[in-house]
Amino acid sequence: MVGLTRVRFLLLAACALSLCAQPVVLGPHIRAGAARVSLTPDLKKHGPVYMAGFGNNRVATGMHDNLYARCLALSAGGQTVVLCGVDSIGLFLDDVERIRAEVKRQLGGGKKPQAGGDVNVVVAATHDHEGPDTMGLWGPDRGHSGINDAYMNLVVERVAQSAVMAVRTMQPALIKVGEAHRSDLDEFIHDDRPPEVLDAGVIVLHATTARGKPIATLVNWANHPETLGSKNTLITADYPFYLCSEVEQKFEGVAVFLNGAVGGMQSPLGSTVIDTASGKPVAENTFQKAEIIGRGVAESAGFAVRNAKPFDADQVEFREQLIQIPVSNHGFQLAAQADLYKGRKKMTADGATTTPVGLVRLSARGNAFLEIALVPGEMYPELSVGGVVRYSGADYPDAPSEPPIKNMLSTEFKMLVGLADDEIGYIIPKAEWDEKPPYLNGAEKPWYGEENSVGPEAAPRIAAAFEQLVKSAGPGKN
């Protein structure tokens, strides 16, 4: 009996040593949380609500659907990044800084254990042309601001609230990333300025709990939310309303939409969208067209999620650099002098605007698998994916071509988020800049874009800053 007991003891000891030698599986290394909060204005309390994106004195008369701030928080490796998609025409850096300060205040400086270290908030407007004027350019007339201070305070409060809720609900998460580029995505976009370049692929990040319960689906796609046109007076998020509603119905959790390179001009206006029931093109400026586009993008997003690749993410990085860009746009200068921005976007002594360029990177075991370029305006797609063309008549025909932003990224999956943390207008390749006759490509009148851009130095300065940002971050691989 004694010998048998000794054998059992030795076997148990050997098993224990064997178990100790096995790697301990602790579950997901990354945590994720999400939240959405309404930004819908009160037409009485915030009225008159001047609608943004087209002409002056377009006053909202009712509501079609709610506007939201939707945020996804990701935390690993000592950093937390909160990616917020906001149903708005655009938010200036001044208001983004107010949002960041409020998030930091509510989280106790952003250093609480629940926050996973430093908390970095990204606020990207969807560029909704059917919501309140948050930039001051579409008031009762050109000389008076359309900004309602009470509504802007609500926006700052609610976006911060959504970001904080996303951080406070973080839990161990499983991450998948995928992409899709169905042919109908291109058909939803009309590019009315040469060269015709689209950046129309859908990129998704899907987060669930360790047990598979949905947390959020982040969708990145590029197109102006202006389907309803200039005569609509009902508050709506435009096609992102249908996109997010459909994604949330398919996958539950919170759908976060981040727009992409929409300059140039990437718009549903002028695109031919077919009603599958009748086989005929749907009418312009209709909710039917917005719905078909939104649900069509959601269908592609669903395909991307179902075919996405899982990653054992263990590192989240955020980098940001403030740069200065000369403001040569006379209209922007006059708007600042008339205080249409209501104290926002103050220029430097030499007439420049200060704006951020940012980078978010997700890695697994030392290998980066997703990089997100954060661009503070409406970038022309040829600056995102390439395709700059030198037309006769351009004002700077010998200007060097800026390297495409996505070509600077080295990861398998690449996102470009426009209107991120600021809105400086169109970002146009300098070699394609065209304010003076003769106009490029033999056009009889100026091309649209330059009148809503800070100036020709925006593209080269942003590209140079982003290239430096990527280099300082390193290759993202061991």
Helices (H), 385-457: 405-408
Percent residues over pLDDT 90 in the chain? 88
Query: Average of pLDDT values for 14-41?
Result: 70
State the first-to-last Cα distance of the chain, in angstroms, to the nearest integer.
56
2-6, 54-58, 191-195: lowest mean pLDDT where? 2-6
Check if the beta carbon of residue 287 is closer than 8 Å to that of residue 241: no
Report pLDDT for 475: 81
pLDDT, one tens digit per residue, over 77-106 is 999 999 999 999 999 999 999 999 999 999
pLDDT, one tens digit per residue, over 328-337 is 999 999 999 9
Report pLDDT for 109: 63
Report pLDDT for 477: 65
Query: Average of pLDDT values for 379-383?
Result: 98
pLDDT, one tens digit per residue, over 231-249 is 999 999 999 999 999 999 9
Query: Average of pLDDT values for 152-162?
Result: 98
Nearest CA to 391 out of 340, 425, 333, 430 is that of: 430
Please report, for residues 22, 224, 227, 289, 364, the alpha-carbon distance to residue 269 in angstroms, rounded to integers and kept in the order given. Answer: 59, 9, 6, 10, 41
pTM recorded for the entire structure? 0.93
27-31, 270-274, 301-305, 414-418: lowest mean pLDDT where? 27-31
pLDDT above 50 for 5:
no
Report pLDDT for 317: 97
Report pLDDT for 12: 40
Which carries the bigger pLDDT value, residue 306 or residue 392?
306
Query: What is the rounded average pLDDT for all residues in the chain?
Result: 93
Report pLDDT for 398: 95
Report pLDDT for 7: 39
* Torsion angle of the four alpha carbons 364, 365, 369, 370, in this order, in degrees rounded to the nearest 10: 50
Nearest CA to 341 out of 52, 180, 134, 198 is that of: 134
Check if the beta carbon of residue 424 is closer than 8 Å to that of residue 375: no
